[in-house]
Structure 1
């Protein structure tokens, strides 16, 4: 039976509903739990997060993919509580946002060890939670080039994905050539990889969109909502219309099957204030109306939010 791993157990892909494929319940850098300026009680995180997930559900959202990763605040028992409370399916990940977020124990580990660890979290469970990871997260470290550690993580992720059938999401789509080479060497089909943040204002000029499509990879426009027009401007922001026009060009160039969308929002950030007013619900409150206003057909919206994510997240044995 086709299935997707969620924190409350595997479900058929047709039960996913509309999917936010690249999001965070709470993301922070290693050590953020020690920062007294931005530290919050668990109850405060809960109070900030539940209304957002309930609103997501009311808008028609079905599944929230958390790509926080090891060492960045991943808390699967918390995710299980949130999923049961709100009715939103939550998919947890294994892997790392980037090599520079891996604590020394993992940073010094071999490819074989990392592979075994990822496979264990996918097939047995994450810690003692009983929940299995549904995706693998990898990323390019700060600086924009893959480090030796990044390459070890990518290779381990490729082996784990090929072994278990779960897909890979990347943080950033820059310096994609060495990543694609590793995936090819490990025999992982590129349609099992979503190259993320291809739309952010800082890195979109450095993302080889057409080349990734030609290799068979998928691209994530998953920083929707981080716009230069908002009050709390992040450094990766981009003008709203510029991003939308860029996305529509790729749609019109025939790449619908290889595109996924999300907002990369933080429900309750860890160790930093976050971006005021930006939530996962930008997808429904702004992106979908913008697409409809631009003449995008309902069938295309359905494919972006339901069909493409279901195909991508389904475990392939």
Structure 2
């Protein structure tokens, strides 16, 4: 039976509904939980998070369900028991990730590990469970470290992820789509089809001019426009922001240019940031409040919107054996 791993157990792809494919329940750099400035009680985190997820569920009801893919991974604040409670409370399916946002977020224990060790870590979290939660990861996170260049540890993680993906059937998504040629080489050497990889943040402002979009798309890879809402028009925009119209035009160029089945979209919002204030007013619900209305205003029909947010992510997240 086709299935997708969620924190409350496997579900059929048809149950996913609308999918926000790259989001965060609570992301922070390793060690942020030790900084007294940013301590948050469980009550504070729930108060910040539950209304956002409930609104997401309400918005998504017309699509048959709501699914939130958490891109946090190991060492950055992942809390699967918390995710399970949120999912039960709000009705939102939550997919947890194994893997790392980038080599520079892997604590020393993992940074010194071999490819085989990392592969077995990922595989255990996918097939047995994450810690003692009983929940299985549904996707693997990998990433490019700061500096926009693959480092040796990044490539070790990518190789381990490719092997775990082939053995388990789960897909991979990346943090950044820059310096992609070494990643493409690793995936080719390991025999992983590129349609099992979503190259993320291809739309952020600081990545422009650094993404070999042609190599990804022509190889069959998927492109993530997943920083929607981080607009330079915000009162206090983040450094990775981009003009809203420019991002939308870039996205529509792929949608209308024959790559509809290879694009996915999300907001990369942080429900309750850890160790940093986040971006005020930016939530997963930007998808409904701004992005989908913008697409409709540009003449994108409902069938195409459904492909982007329902069909494409369901195909991507379904375990492949």
Contact 1:38–1:272 (Cα < 8 Å) also in 2:
yes
Query: Matches of 2:152 and 2:134 in 1, distance apart?
Result: 32
Query: Matches of 1:279 and 1:204 in 2, distance apart?
Result: 23
Task: Please name the residue that 1:182 is paired with.
Answer: 186
The within-5 A match list for 1:109-128 is 109-128=113-132
Task: Please name the residue that 2:80 is paired with.
Answer: 76
Contact 1:99–1:149 (Cα < 8 Å) also in 2:
yes
Task: Please name the residue that 1:196 is paired with.
Answer: 200
| RMSD (Å), alpha carbons | 0.6
Query: Matches of 2:269 and 2:136 in 1, distance apart?
Result: 23
The reply on whether 1:94 has 2:101 as its aligned counterpart is no
Task: Please name the residue that 2:29 is paired with.
Answer: 29
The reply on whether 1:272 has 2:295 as its aligned counterpart is no
SS in 2 for 1:129: coil
Q: Any gaps of 5 or more consecutive residues in structure 2? A: none
Of 204-213 and 42-51, more deviation after overlay is shown by 204-213
Query: Matches of 2:245 and 2:147 in 1, distance apart?
Result: 27
Query: Matches of 2:26 and 2:54 in 1, distance apart?
Result: 16
Per-residue deviation at 1:41? 1.1
Q: What whole-Å deviation, never above 9, does each CA across 1:14-73 have from its counterpart, x for those lacking one?
A: 000000000000000000001112221121011100000000001016100001010000
Query: Matches of 2:140 and 2:236 in 1, distance apart?
Result: 30
Per-residue deviation at 1:204? 2.4
The within-5 A match list for 1:103-142 is 103-142=107-146
Per-residue deviation at 1:152? 0.4
Q: Structure 1-normalised TM-score?
A: 0.99
Q: Structure 1 runs of 4+ off > 4 angstroms? A: none
The reply on whether 1:300 has 2:293 as its aligned counterpart is no
Contact 1:94–1:133 (Cα < 8 Å) also in 2:
yes
- The number of residues matched between the two structures is 317
Q: Any gaps of 5 or more consecutive residues in structure 1? A: none
Of 156-165 and 198-207, more deviation after overlay is shown by 198-207
Per-residue deviation at 1:239? 0.4
Per-residue deviation at 1:209? 1.1
